[in-house]
Amino acid sequence: MAKLDHDPIVVLNETWCKRCGLCIAVCPFHVFEPNEEGLPLLVKLDKCTECQLCELICPDFALEVGPLKHVGKVKGEGFIPLTTASKS
């Protein structure tokens, strides 16, 4: 597993997310856990490799993964960093 030279950036649009859990299930390093509402939380930040499987499998385009300079620029407003999401 390659080590990143920065903290992984994963952002979510809570409005677009339908809480299907595909992103949680597909992650090879199990970095996500669902909160009480079913939204994915990035709980193992140090294990994320930014492989983008979660972003690619999301049927609602609700996740964005990658370097900070790219995240949020394509999809626009409404995306929040998952590392700041609360458990409830």
Q: Where are the beta strands (DSSP E) in the chain?
A: 10-13, 32-34, 40-42, 63-65, 79-81
Q: Which CATH class is domain 10-84?
A: alpha beta
- For residues 25 and 2, what is the distance between their CA atoms, to the nearest angstrom? 21
- Residue extents of the structural domains in the chain: 10-84
38-69: pLDDT as tens digits: 999 888 888 888 899 999 999 999 998 876 55
- pTM beyond 0.85, yes or no: no
Q: 75: pLDDT confidence band, cut at 50, 70 and 90?
A: low
